[in-house]
Amino acid sequence: MEILIVRHGQSQADLEDRYEGRADFSLTELGCEQAQKLAKWVLENYRPDIILSSPLKRAAQTAEYIGKETNVKIIFDDELMEWDNGLLAGLLRSEAAEKYPLPKEGRKPYSEFAGTESYINFRARAETFWAKFLDTYGTDENIRRACIVSHGKMINMLFRAFMKLPIDTDITLKTGDTGVHLWVVDGNKREIVFSNSQAHLL
């Protein structure tokens, strides 16, 4: 099965340099344009059989553009939401640095500093989604290609789950606005076809 992993378009928080996470900002005008271009590109090149999306506005709006263009129903899944950043959500980064400065030793994997989701629990959430996704759709002969719309940090966690990386890995995956990754799962085989493509924006 082919899996398109898509990050949402530009959001209002991006413009204002705010921590986003669970703060539910909408797409900007540019973000909507990015999502429209993405949707047409997906239709022309990688039309999915199913779309799953985070219900947060910026991802949901991006998924809705794809769903409308491809005429594919969207399934919203809370497990695809961005990292729960607790008290940081919606704060200006400068404001957050003043109110909730990180400890000198940094954030530990188990830390719930400032009411946030620990990285251990975040990874567990990604693993839970991934396992359920494969069990539900991985053997369905009617689904040859899926599209998952989510957020930068969650996509990074899904990548670690996909590649079966250890929880303490320093390997990260960057994704730009409406960046697209294409992964293939064939039994135990894992293949990355391309990463963070923004060809639709050129």
Cα→Cα distances 113→86, 103, 129, Å:
9, 9, 24
Helix/strand/coil (H/E/C) assignment for every residue in 120-186? HHHHHHHHHHHHHHHHHHCCCCCCCEEEEEECHHHHHHHHHHHCCCCCCCCCCCCCCCCCEEEEEEE
| Cα 179 from Cα 8, distance rounded (Å) | 8
Annotated active-site residue 2? The verdict is no
With CA atoms as reference, report the closest residue to 65 among 97, 40, 83, 91: 40
With CA atoms as reference, report the closest residue to 81 among 113, 128, 32, 48: 128
Q: How many CB atoms lie within 10 A of CB 168?
A: 9
Q: Which of 20, 69, 82, 117 is catalytic?
A: 82
Annotated active-site residue 8? The verdict is yes
Q: Which of 2, 8, 20, 117 is catalytic?
A: 8
Residues forming the active site: 8, 82
